[in-house]
Chains A and B, each alone.
Chain A
Amino acid sequence: MIGAQIGGWKAAIRRVATIEAGGSAAVATWLPASTMEPAGVETKRRLDGREVLADQIFRRTAFASGIITVGIMLAVGVFLTLRASDALRATGLSFLSTQAWSPETGTFGVAAVLFGTVSIALIALAVSLPLSLGTAMLLSEVVSGRVRGILVSLVDLMAAVPSIVFGLWGVYFLQAAIIPVSHWISVWLGWIPIFAVTDAAGQQASDASAFTSSAFIAGIVVGFMVVPTQTSIMREAFTRAPIGEREGAYALGATRWGMIRSVVLPFGKGGIIGGTMLGLGRALGETIAVYMIISPIFTINWQVLKTGTNSVSALIALRYGEASEFGLSALMAAGLVLFLLTLVINFTASSVVARSRSGAQSDG
């Protein structure tokens, strides 16, 4: 019975709706075109546009530039791999473990230069990470207004300063100024193996010449070189921290540091990691400043304060001129190893940054 009643209501509602629809149709203005159109000639409208000639040319040109770009870049990669394969076939896996560079006699490997590259980059990171983190926080959280604008521009400008200028500063100013510091560290922290500086007899070295051209000095210079890049990426991430959550933290009575620790740092973690790794990638590939400062050796030197280290890019700059066909192939192999290393670091960094940014959208 209840069902029948509902059915009756439904029918009534439908009736009313029909009447209303009919009524409104009678009152409404009619579209002029629909009355003129002959009935029955209903062709389906095409939704996909036909390309005009200009569009075709545009699309093909854009496509072509994409192809050329990929062509150039793949050519670099493929060419490097092909030319490097000669040397890699000759040495096999020992290429990664040999500490010498004489392709003429067939004994060469990147163990020492790769160690030097990584040690310089890690020292650079130890210098640049606290500086860039602190400066990025300063720029995004502490200063404001005109001062912030000027300082942000200054950081961007510093990212464009040529590396040879940093190299000049490292050779002609920093080297002399930093030797007492190196000496001090080696005396007081010498019990940590990497900070010790010993001569051939194992005695503590105190002569100033034992501390010049070291990985430590090169690392500091490269560190200052990569700080601007890192700072601008971190600052970007910090300023994106949602304003609502910042104000929420302040409203709960947090100090500025409390707010930073609970909102900005968790939010900007991706930016910190990504910026650090991009800086690391640049530090690994840096050539000219390192080449000007270090004195090249081909053995692993664990004492980073002691004179003598090497890097892959400095090795290429040093040996390309006198290299034979096979020697060039060996240098290509070293360059390829460096490229793969920076490639892995860059991709990890950009995926970390991208992931953190996608989290930025969900402002909950």
Chain B
Amino acid sequence: MADIYRTEVLPSVRTTLPGTKTEDDGPRRQVHGFTAAQRYDVFGAAAAGVALATLLFGWFAPLSGAIGWTVVAFLAFLGLYMLLIWLHSDFEEVKDRLITTLFGAAGTLLFTVLVFIVIYTLGRGTEALGHLNLFTQTMKDAGPLDGLDVGGILHAIVGTLIQISIALAITIPLGIGTAVFLNEVGGRFARFVRTISDAMTALPSIVAGLFVYAAVIQAITHERSGLAAGIAITVMMLPIVIRSADVVLRLVPQNLREASYALGSSRWQTVWQVVLPTARSGLVTSVILGTARGIGETSPVLLTSGITAAMNVNPLAGPMISLPLQVFDFVRSPEPTMVARGFGTAAVLLLLVLVLFLLARGLGGRAPGELSDRQQLAARAASLRDLKRFEARRPLVAPVVAARVGVRSEEQS
């Protein structure tokens, strides 16, 4: 009994306000990550696994090959690692660590292979990329046996740009217009349009090419051209752009639209001045990512654009080759220089896609309504201008209020 009463007089039972404390907390406690013992488990098991595999492959067993060595080393590592954990933990812990290790292994394998694919292409492309004539000449003057210092892919670069421009000229207005229709107009027909365009995302790109080949080239123009290739890319890209733009527009908060209507604006004003500016970064991203897909796709242009070694800037007549098709055409040849050119062209294509992707990330990738630093500055400047305008107008109406506002704005500044 007496003990309980004694706690009352202890001075230490007092709460301290956060921020008023002056003394140091001491080292921060680590709440995630690995402890040293866990780290030693990993390193020890890895070293033992590698050693065991090397021993098996080098001396004890008739095994060979890099892939086999990796598999055996990984399995040995897994077994030893489980054993080490089992020494100081229960079965649940062992299971947890095993699964986490498998996730890590899947991720490591995937990223290694994907990064390797990119580096392999760029690496084998450097041989051709080193010759600057790759970017300034066409293949017209280069025979099949000529070295890398003759000939280039300027015609394919120009062809790709023309074809993707044609596709974008159709896709951007039509795709975003359709996405706006799906979200802002709505109705039963809009649901039908959404179903159809979702269905068309399943259209294999080669079938899109076959359609253009039969419906445009065979029936109307009777020759392959840049325009036909542009149309084939459009048929492939349009559903992709519609779908992603639709998702972006759906994310625009409904209360922004309602606020706009409540201010008395018409539907068109709401779309043009509220919905589209809010979703701008997402729309740009969806168009750029669609462009990256359209540029890299070979199969629709394989059937429609035709193969040529000469420059052709007229999309209406004559074959016009593009970068992916040029890669395909180069590597069909058995000549090593042609294959080197193929890898160089693939590297150019890859870099182009990479630039487009980084552009999409830089411009977009923000949620609707989220502003970039510069946009925030602009918005702040605009509201400051508004404030000044109000101040300039107020004295005529009510001098007392204006004086108060003036004081407040001074305090703010």
Cross-chain contact A66 with B346 (CB below 8 angstroms): no
B113 at the interface (CB under 8 A from A): yes
- The distance in angstroms between the C-alpha atoms of A115 and B193, with both chains bound, is 33
B267 at the interface (CB under 8 A from A): yes
B196: which of A70, A180, A287, A338 is its contact (CB, 8 Å)?
A70
Cross-chain contact B298 with A65 (CB below 8 angstroms): no
B226-269 residues with Cβ-Cβ distance < 8 A to A are 235, 238-239, 242, 266-269
Residues from chain B with a CB closer than 8 A to the CB of A294 are: none
- The distance in angstroms between the C-alpha atoms of A346 and B201, with both chains bound, is 8
Which residue of chain A is the closest to B200 with respect to CB atoms?
A73
Task: Give the size of the chain B interface in residues (CB under 8 angstroms).
Answer: 93
User: B340: shortest Cβ distance to chain A, in Å?
Assistant: 11
- The distance in angstroms between the C-alpha atoms of A63 and B357, with both chains bound, is 31
- The distance in angstroms between the C-alpha atoms of A137 and B110, with both chains bound, is 13
A131 at the interface (CB under 8 A from B): yes
Residues from chain B with a CB closer than 8 A to the CB of A288 are: 298-299, 302, 324, 328
A347 at the interface (CB under 8 A from B): yes
Which residue of chain B is the closest to A180 with respect to CB atoms?
B65
Residues from chain B with a CB closer than 8 A to the CB of A59 are: 185, 267
Residues from chain B with a CB closer than 8 A to the CB of A68 are: 174, 178
- Given the known interface contacts A69-B178, A134-B105, the answer about A346 and B198 at a Cβ–Cβ threshold of 8 Å is yes
The stretch from A11-19, A169-177, A242-250 touching chain B is A169-177
Residues from chain B with a CB closer than 8 A to the CB of A165 are: 117-118, 121, 296, 346, 349-350
A352 at the interface (CB under 8 A from B): no
B111: which of A154, A313, A342 is its contact (CB, 8 Å)?
A154
- The distance in angstroms between the C-alpha atoms of A334 and B16, with both chains bound, is 77
A79: which of B65, B214, B297 is its contact (CB, 8 Å)?
B214
B120 at the interface (CB under 8 A from A): yes
- Given the known interface contacts A63-B181, A69-B193, A160-B289, the answer about A224 and B114 at a Cβ–Cβ threshold of 8 Å is yes
User: B277: shortest Cβ distance to chain A, in Å?
Assistant: 16
Residues from chain B with a CB closer than 8 A to the CB of A255 are: 92-93, 95-96
Cross-chain contact A317 with B299 (CB below 8 angstroms): yes
B197-214 residues with Cβ-Cβ distance < 8 A to A are 197-208, 210-211, 213-214
A162: which of B111, B120, B295 is its contact (CB, 8 Å)?
B295
- Given the known interface contacts A79-B211, A255-B96, the answer about A69 and B197 at a Cβ–Cβ threshold of 8 Å is yes
- Given the known interface contacts A165-B117, A260-B99, A335-B210, the answer about A62 and B197 at a Cβ–Cβ threshold of 8 Å is no
Which residue of chain B is the closest to A224 with respect to CB atoms?
B113
B129 at the interface (CB under 8 A from A): no
Cross-chain contact B118 with A70 (CB below 8 angstroms): no
Mask of B252-292 contacts with A, CB within 8 angstroms, 1/0 = 00000000000000111101000000000000000001001
Which residue of chain B is the closest to A261 with respect to CB atoms?
B99
A44-90 residues with Cβ-Cβ distance < 8 A to B are 51-52, 54-55, 57-59, 61-66, 68-70, 72-76, 79-80, 83
Residues from chain B with a CB closer than 8 A to the CB of A79 are: 211, 214-215
Cross-chain contact B193 with A256 (CB below 8 angstroms): no
- Given the known interface contacts A73-B199, A256-B96, the answer about A134 and B299 at a Cβ–Cβ threshold of 8 Å is no
Cross-chain contact B271 with A164 (CB below 8 angstroms): no
B238: which of A52, A72, A227 is its contact (CB, 8 Å)?
A72
A258 at the interface (CB under 8 A from B): yes
A314-364 residues with Cβ-Cβ distance < 8 A to B are 316-317, 320, 328, 331-332, 335-336, 338-339, 342-343, 345-347, 350
B184 at the interface (CB under 8 A from A): yes
The stretch from A97-105, A138-146, A198-206 touching chain B is A138-146
- Mostly, the A contact residues are helix
- The distance in angstroms between the C-alpha atoms of A178 and B100, with both chains bound, is 28
- The distance in angstroms between the C-alpha atoms of A141 and B357, with both chains bound, is 26
A300 at the interface (CB under 8 A from B): no
Cross-chain contact A63 with B185 (CB below 8 angstroms): yes
Cross-chain contact A142 with B238 (CB below 8 angstroms): no
- The distance in angstroms between the C-alpha atoms of A339 and B210, with both chains bound, is 12
A146-200 residues with Cβ-Cβ distance < 8 A to B are 151, 153-154, 156-158, 160-166, 168-169, 171-173, 177-178, 180-181, 184
Cross-chain contact B203 with A339 (CB below 8 angstroms): yes
A283-312 residues with Cβ-Cβ distance < 8 A to B are 284-285, 287-288, 292, 312
Residues from chain B with a CB closer than 8 A to the CB of A181 are: 65, 67
B118: which of A58, A161, A347 is its contact (CB, 8 Å)?
A161
Which residue of chain A is the closest to B174 with respect to CB atoms?
A65
- Given the known interface contacts A65-B173, A180-B65, A258-B96, the answer about A161 and B299 at a Cβ–Cβ threshold of 8 Å is no
- The distance in angstroms between the C-alpha atoms of A363 and B354, with both chains bound, is 39
Which residue of chain B is the closest to A329 with respect to CB atoms?
B214
Residues from chain B with a CB closer than 8 A to the CB of A52 are: 266, 268
- The distance in angstroms between the C-alpha atoms of A113 and B298, with both chains bound, is 20
Residues from chain A with a CB closer than 8 A to the CB of B46 are: none
- The distance in angstroms between the C-alpha atoms of A52 and B92, with both chains bound, is 68
Cross-chain contact B210 with A66 (CB below 8 angstroms): no
- Given the known interface contacts A131-B109, A138-B103, A157-B354, the answer about A164 and B210 at a Cβ–Cβ threshold of 8 Å is no
Cross-chain contact A164 with B298 (CB below 8 angstroms): yes
Residues from chain B with a CB closer than 8 A to the CB of A284 are: 204
Cross-chain contact B210 with A138 (CB below 8 angstroms): no
Cross-chain contact A346 with B185 (CB below 8 angstroms): no
Cross-chain contact A73 with B196 (CB below 8 angstroms): yes
Cross-chain contact B207 with A339 (CB below 8 angstroms): yes
Residues from chain B with a CB closer than 8 A to the CB of A317 are: 206, 299, 302-303
B44 at the interface (CB under 8 A from A): no
User: A47: shortest Cβ distance to chain B, in Å?
Assistant: 13
Cross-chain contact B199 with A338 (CB below 8 angstroms): no
Q: A153-B361, A157-B354, A313-B207 are in contact. List 10 more A-B contacts (CB 8 A).
A: A73-B199, A73-B200, A134-B106, A164-B328, A180-B67, A227-B114, A255-B92, A332-B214, A343-B199, A347-B199
Instruction: Please name 16 pairs of A and B residues whose Cβ atoms are closer than 8 Å in the assembled complex, sorted by A.
Output: A52-B266, A65-B178, A66-B178, A76-B208, A153-B361, A161-B114, A164-B298, A164-B328, A165-B296, A165-B346, A257-B95, A287-B302, A328-B214, A328-B218, A339-B203, A347-B198
Residues of A within 8 A of B (CB): 51-52, 54-55, 57-59, 61-66, 68-70, 72-76, 79-80, 83, 130-135, 137-139, 141-142, 151, 153-154, 156-158, 160-166, 168-169, 171-173, 177-178, 180-181, 184, 224, 227-228, 231, 255-258, 260, 281, 284-285, 287-288, 292, 312-313, 316-317, 320, 328, 331-332, 335-336, 338-339, 342-343, 345-347, 350
Closest 5 pairs between A and B when the two form their complex, measured CB to CB = A134-B106, A162-B296, A285-B204, A65-B177, A255-B96
